[in-house]
Amino acid sequence: MPTYIAPVEDMMFLFEKLKNNKHYNEIEKYKEVSSELVKNILEEAAKINQNIILPLAKSGDENPTVLENGVVRTPPGYKEAYTKYIEDGWTSLSCDPKYGGQGMPKTVSAFFDEMLSSASLSFKLYSELSIGAYNCISHHATDDIKNKYLPKMVEGKWSGTMCLTEPVCGTDLGLLKTKATEQSDGTYKLSGQKIFITSGDQDLTENIVHLVIARASDSPNGTKGISLFLVPKFLVKDDGSIGSRNGVSTGSIENKMGIKGSATCVLNFDDAVGYMIGPKNKGLNAMFTMMNLERIVVGIQGLGISEIAYQNSLNYAKERKQGKANNSKLSDGADFILEHADIKKSLLNMKSIIEGERALCFWLSQQTEVSLNHQDKKVRQEASDFVSLMTPVVKTMFTDMGMEITSEAMQVHGGYGYTKDQGIEQLYRDNRITPIYEGTNSIQAADLVFRKLVNKNGDIIKKYLDMMKNDCKIENDNMKFFVKELDYHIKILSNFTDWIKEKVQKSKDDASAACNDYLKTLGFVSIAYAWVKVLEVSFKDYNNNKNFYEDKIQTANFYFKRVLPRAESHFKIATTGSDYIMKFKFI
């Protein structure tokens, strides 16, 4: 079984030293969130993840969820762990105190999300969608619904799901068939089937709050006729107590490649009572509140799994002896594989990507909080645009890099990595879903190129490029190499942006064929930008913690020399166009 030590020191470094975000620091309610408080939270989070949740990863993989007589049974140990999990208040970490939450910022909850993803992604998924459902309900539901459902969801006694996909529609939600018929009392009766519903049923919580998109019987076809409904597994009485079973049942659970401890369900709705959330025919607008935040969290899943894969690869490389390294000082016997240049390169590749991603994620968490809580509407809107721009980048880059890193981790372990004993192959299998669900990564790339670069608020990508350029104006001799490399790659990204904007207007095939490459270029450059912020602090405070900051500087050095150049290759590949692709005829 893999081991795991939560990277609390690195997380606290980001929280304490990368706070120089003016607008984030202006949010009044977070001024009392001290470093001491955050450190205490993260240390307690580390304990529960390392000691209680980590063992569930293997348990869930070897003893997957099962459907017995219409009831979904979670793996051994899940119930006990979940009880402890909600007793300690982890479901309430980032929720509004009005409903029993702790009110911590996403700069803190994102760290917890990463730890939980490292420990056991399957277990995490039972509460993750609950937070997404909580956010959607808190933004769009009536006060009566909020007061009735949110306290129990925040407490963790009730969970939530997101029900979009159907047998006939995945990405193209306009094809959905689930119908909602209005009743005389203002409720709706929903009928239809939803598939691939994460945590669609389980035996951990007293009730499950399904958020379901459906078409009202008098609504138009296509996405313009979609509404959102809250459909509880058990009806809730006026006093908040649980009533009779609703018309929701589990038809089957999927037999999956990974995340086997998570119940991925086919749900049947048979005249199930539902309550409309938000305006009629505006369901996708409300659901995207949940989906967009969830996409960032999925990116964090890739980061968390990458971290545990790296930790175990490093530990293995320190213990495994094989062959003679070129710089070996030993006269006989084998060297630790950590001494081999290729292995060290692999480990540095993992480390430089992971730490850069974590820094980028921290910046994005700050922007998210500004977009939600800053007093100035203009400031909120600019932050919201940056979050919108970077959401597909974080979702795609972190999960794609998660596949690269878990694959590389298996390679470091050699034959042992391919066996189940070490648990590394499970990390690869568990992570494989992350580039697929919540919108495949190709859909994310298309969304970035065709919808996010420019919107009604202006040229968002230009604002982002200008911000990076301004932040590159650093007067520090130690930073010259890094700033020069970032500036060079910003120019490449700028040229790529001009090219792809033109192709969006004149050649959709060229743009479509370049979407993934454009996203990767933006991703690699954005991680480099995050590294520059880390390096500023590292050189400034170097003498206060030499070992820590020297490690940061050398890790960044590898990223800028070995990883960042990949951005230019994506640019060169993409700008060859698409004619030779589209003219090819498959036999």
**Which string of DSSP letters, residue by residue, matches 513-525?**
HHHHHHHHHHHHH
Which of the following is catalytic: 438, 475, 485, 502?
Answer: 438
Q: What is the pLDDT of residue 428?
A: 98
Closest of 2, 129, 125, 133 to residue 75, by C-alpha: 125
State residue 328's pLDDT score. 61
Q: How do strand 158-163 and strand 207-216 relate by DSSP bridges?
A: parallel
H helix and E strand count, the chain: 20, 13
Query: Is residue 260 within 8 Å of residue 64, measured between CB atoms?
Result: yes
pLDDT in tens, 487-514: 999 999 999 999 999 999 999 999 999 9
Q: What is the pLDDT of residues 296-333, one digit of tens each?
A: 999 999 999 999 999 999 999 999 888 888 766 655 67
Residue 122 scores a pLDDT above 80: yes
pTM: 0.96
Instruction: Return the DSSP state at 203.
Output: S
Give the Cα separation of 288 and 109 in Å (integer): 20
| CA-wise closest residue to 88 among 156, 15, 1 | 156
Q: What is the pLDDT of residue 168?
A: 81
Query: Using 50, 70 and 90 to split pLDDT, how confident is the model at 20?
Result: confident
Residue type at position 216: A
pLDDT confidence band for 351 (50 / 70 / 90): very high
The confidence score (pLDDT) of residue 223 equals 84
pLDDT score of 333: 78
pLDDT band at 286 (very low <50, low <70, confident <90, very high): confident
pLDDT for res 330? 56
Angle between the N-to-C axes of helices 424-431 and 377-413, in degrees from 0 to 180, rounded to the nearest 10: 140
Q: Give the closest residue to 379 by CA, choosing from 371, 387, 388.
A: 371
Separation between Cα atoms, residue 277 and residue 139, nearest integer Å: 10
- The stretch 77-96 carries a mean pLDDT of 97
H/E element, 544? none
What are the pLDDT digits (tens) for 556-583? 999 999 999 999 999 999 999 999 999 9
Give pLDDT, residue 327. Answer: 67
Within 13 A of 325's CA, how many CA atoms are on the CB side? 17
Instruction: Find the angle CA(458)-CA(464)-CA(469) to the nearest 5 degrees.
Output: 130
77, 163, 318, 333 from 328: Cα distances, Å: 47, 57, 15, 10
pLDDT per residue as tens digits for the range 224-251: 899 999 999 999 999 999 999 999 999 9
When computed from its CA atoms, the radius of gyration of the chain, rounded to whole angstroms, is 24
pLDDT at res. 323: 85
Q: What are the backbone dihedrals phi and psi of residue 4, each rounded to the nearest 5 degrees, phi first?
A: -155, 130
Pairwise CA distance, residues 581 & 247, whole Å: 49
pLDDT of residue 172: 74
Strands 179-182 and 188-198: antiparallel
According to DSSP, the residues that pair with 266 across neighbouring strands are: 252
> What's the chain's average pLDDT?
95
Token pair of 397 as six digits: 């880059």
Identify the pLDDT of residue 264: 97
Please give the average per-residue pLDDT across 136-142, as a whole number. Answer: 95
Q: What is the pLDDT of residue 443?
A: 95
pLDDT 10s digits, 88-113: 999 999 999 999 999 999 999 999 99
Q: What pLDDT score does 324 carry?
A: 82
Alpha-helix residue ranges (DSSP H) falling in 53-182: 54-62, 78-87, 106-119, 121-140, 143-155
E strand or H helix that includes residue 270: strand 264-277
Q: What is the mean pLDDT of residues 4-22?
A: 95
- What average pLDDT does the segment 350-377 reach? 96
Q: How confident is the model at residue 413 (pLDDT cuts 50, 70, 90)?
A: very high
Q: How many CB atoms lie within 10 A of CB 308?
A: 28
> Average pLDDT in the 37-58 region?
98
Q: Please say if 438 is a catalytic residue.
A: yes
Closest CA to 394 of 430, 365, 351: 365
Tell me the percentage of the chain whose pLDDT exceeds 90.
89
- Closest by CA to 125, choosing from 81, 84, 159, is 159
What mean pLDDT do residues 518-525 have? 98
Extract the runs of DSSP E, i.e. beta strands, from 339-457.
454-455
Between 175 and 353, name the one with better pLDDT: 353
Among 127, 116, 122, residue whose Cα is nearest residue 4: 116
Other C-beta atoms within 10 Å of 241: how many? Answer: 8
Hey, how many other C-beta atoms are within 10 angstroms of the C-beta on 178? 21
H helix intervals, 414-472: 415-418, 424-431, 441-447, 460-471
pLDDT band of residue 1 (cuts 50, 70, 90) is confident
Instruction: List residues bridging with 68 in a β-sheet.
Output: 71
Q: How far apart are CA 179 and CA 90, in angstroms?
A: 36
Cα 81 to Cα 492: distance, rounded to the nearest angstrom? 49
**Which pair of structure tokens corresponds to residue 390?**
């970077």
Q: Is 60 exposed, middle or buried (0-12, 13-18, 19+ CB in 10 A)?
A: buried
The amino acid that residue 161 corresponds to is T
Which token pair is 504? 């969006």
Instruction: Assign 472 a pLDDT band (cuts: 50, 70, 90).
Output: confident
Name the more confident of 330 and 410. Answer: 410
What local confidence, expressed as pLDDT, does residue 170 receive? 72
pLDDT higher than threshold 80 for residue 533: yes
Strands 207-216 and 71-73: unpaired
Residue type, 204: L
**CA 244, CA 370: separation in Å to the nearest integer?**
42
